Structure 1
Amino acid sequence: MKLDAPLSNGEVALVGAGPGAASLLTLAAAKLIADCDAIVYDALVSEEVLNMAAVGAELIEAGKRGGRPSTSQHDICETLIELASAGKRVVRLKGGDPFVFGRGGEEMRALAAASVQFRVIPGITSGVAAPAMAGIPVTDRSVNATLAFLTGHEASEKSRMDWQALVEAFPVLVFYMGARNLPQIVEKLLEAGLAQQTPVAIIHAATLDDEQTIVTTLQAVANGDVTAQSPSIIIIGDVVNERISWKD
């Protein structure tokens, strides 16, 4: 299959929109966004990317943002199936990559169960792109040979994570959707034995005009001196000290 080939009637493309800037879309993503009948998009998809939609394409918001009213995953899947069943060429547009904390797997399974033809267009995931834009390498030979990508939602009381094992195994932690629960994340990491002066970078709106990077420590966050604005990628570990502000 040629990934950037025009969609067939009744076909759905699960497309990664990358971290925000339209220039970081894959060639296949840009082509399909510009040539489809309907786009079902997440809250994190930028206006710059949506402005690339074909004239007359139906734009359907299916935002999912922590702590705010959002469309249920079941309803999103049903919308995709209904549009495809009506013969529409559909792009399901998701921030970052559909399969990195994006529920792309759930949507793929729903489409397959409904016998809907689909394809997958990966995107640049924000957990790598945001630190890179801030001049922070997620891996550095002098710091780490392992890396963990995590969701900030797991800082709740019902967390499935073994925080002690996490701290012992991974020198660098990258949290998606961690802004809201940052105090709880830091509390659990400190309880698990991570040093108070461990560096933390909070990267908001990476690749967009209002991008902002805050470099701090676990202790400063625990003291309430620093807060995170959503959406943010949070990277914790000594790679933060390797930062080079290349945009400056």
Structure 2
Amino acid sequence: MSMLQRLDAADALPGAAELRARTYDLLRLTPGSAVIDVGCGAGLAVSELSSRGFSAVGVDISTEMVEEARRRSPEADFRSGDAYALPVDGGFAGYRADKVFHELAEPERALAEARRVLAPGGRIVLSGHDWEALIVDSSYPALTREIVRARASEVTAPRAARGFRRLLAGNGFREVSMEGVVGFFGGYSFARGLVEAAVRLGAVSFAEAEIWLAEQVGDGGCVAVPQFLASGVV
């Protein structure tokens, strides 16, 4: 499954639209406000923010994603760029980054850039999964721990989301708040991705993976991931 397919599947999960809407609400934007969506992917959030009457700019490090976003929403503003060096001058009322900071080795640099592009009183909203805290219903707890540990090892900063509040407060943001939800990722398809990573890294054998995965087939499988949302003011 390609990255684009994974993003589309995640956006279609139960509760995903409501969670995106919550990040928009936390921005507390007024009509016409400029907002930047960092790590915009295929541009769904930019499209939804624009439909709410905001002036949205989407930025992504992947030129493939930017091209796809432009194809899907040709009227919107999408730019290739890096969270450490955004291709905009500033003056934004809102900064949003969803599922981005767990991929950053230097989150403080990204926050310094967020402060640069935000106007005084502008708001930042971060959201992301905690990849070390996956919840899996399994009869094989020891095997599950190895699988979860292996998947987390492929993420640059798997614990980033749980540290959002400390990160924002420690980098000059005021009025920091944080909340959390548990996102249900269903069973087999997401579980397969987890166990494939574990096999690839040598954390479990192919035979162990097959045994573990068989339990996740059908309606019996349950994999969920805690997700945290944090906001602050510059």
Normalised-by-shorter TM-score class? 0.3 to 0.5
Task: Return the TM-score normalized by structure 1.
Answer: 0.40
